[in-house]
Amino acid sequence: MISLHHNIWLLIICCAFSFGVEIEQLPSPRSLCGEGPHWDQATQSLYYIDIEGPEATILRYDYGENKTYAATVENVPLMTFVLPIENSTDEFLVGGQYAAKVIRWDGKSAKGEFVRDAFEVDKIDTNRFNDAKCDAAGRFYGGTMRYRECNGPFTDVANASFYTFDRDHGLKQSKQNVFISNGLTWVGDKFYYIDSCTHDIKEYDYNSVNGELSNERIIFTLRENGKVPEYIFDGMTSDVDGNLFIATYDGYKVMKINPKSGELLAEYKLPAGQITSVAFGGPNLDILFVTSASKGSPPAEAGHLFKITGLETKGKAGNKIKL
């Protein structure tokens, strides 16, 4: 691990070379809590969710049209993640409070419909589902969180969990004592994971044959001399070079970290503070899409979708779930 002072110097050095980086706000409704971006190659769309509207909405930014479509889903007031389902063009798995639900949406109309509950996690009424993704084999990895923020009255309560699901073996609780299960991404035979309230990034060995995770270790921490910054780590993705891109909630930035060395390679400033998640996409997979939230009294840009271009790297499209 490397100290933050050291990181600041690295940042000055590397940002001197980031001339071509551009940040643009995309035409999108203002989300209260935009989350869970997933790039779909087939439709050249970015799917994401507004978790916390009066009713949650599922959104689709159509890259070709440069336009975002949004829908609410009847009888599904809460949606926390969205994963397209393999071999379907209009069915998605979304996170409810305890149940992962199959919904149907054509990507354009203002209403989607509930199809069925797929699987259900432990019912703890202070908790709900949060971020989730699939590995290349279509297995589900996702977790729960309590409704309070890290600095709320339940700071010391970590009774959320992290789960995996695959259609042959069903649901498995992979990790307990989680505060807010958040960003997750794979790089080769490694898996990276964020529990926002531990203020660090954990690495696991990932077995692509059976999907199992082992050997948890911390590869980066925001903690310095017992203190943590005002922001927390939120959603995360990785590029083809194996570097991590991490959204910072209340941090006005996306951080790029090399997980092998623990170095902070770059920071990309955004006009909104509550940066919630990131995903690569676009025809060449070289655009970083960024979701944000607009709670409290934030700047006008907050809650919209952004794209960062000129990063001189690429990522991978999202994986669909095999249900």
Ligand X SMILES: *[C@@H]1O[C@H](CO)[C@@H](O)[C@H](O)[C@H]1NC(C)=O
CA 109, distance to chain mean position in Å, is: 25
| Of 180, 197, 235, residue with least CA distance to 36 | 235
Q: Which of residues 173-192 bind ligand X (CB under 6 A)?
A: none
Concatenated DSSP letters of 166-203: ETTTEEEEEEEEESBEEEEEEETTEEEEEEGGGTEEEE
- 157 near ligand X, judged by CB under 6 A: yes
**Cβ at position 2, least distance to ligand X in Å:** 34
200-206 sheet: strands from edge to edge: 181-187, 190-195, 200-206, 213-221
**Contact flag: residue 159 with ligand X (CB under 6 A):** yes
When the beta carbons of 124 and 228 are compared against ligand X, the nearer one is 124
- Could you give the residue numbers annotated as active site? 234
Give exposure, 184-196, as e/b (b: 16+ Cβ within 10 Å): bbbbeebbbbbbb
Is 152 a binder of ligand X (CB under 6 A)? Answer: no
Structure tokens at 36: 């869970």
Residue type, 186: W
Query: Which C-beta is closer to ligand X: that of 170 or that of 226?
Result: 170
Beta-bridge mates of residue 266 = 256
- Which window, 48-56, 74-82, 105-113, 153-161, contacts ligand X (CB under 6 A)? 153-161
| Alpha carbons 97 and 60: distance in angstroms, whole number | 22
User: Is the Cβ of residue 124 or residue 218 nearer to ligand X in the bound state?
Assistant: 124
The yes or no reply on residue 27 touching ligand X (CB under 6 A) is yes
Interface with ligand X includes 87 (CB under 6 A)? Answer: yes
- Does 124 help bind ligand X (rule: CB under 6 A)? yes
Nearer to ligand X, 87 or 210 (CB): 87
Q: Does 210 bind ligand X (CB under 6 A)?
A: no
Which residues make up the interface to ligand X (CB under 6 A)?
27, 66, 86-87, 124, 126, 154, 157, 159, 322
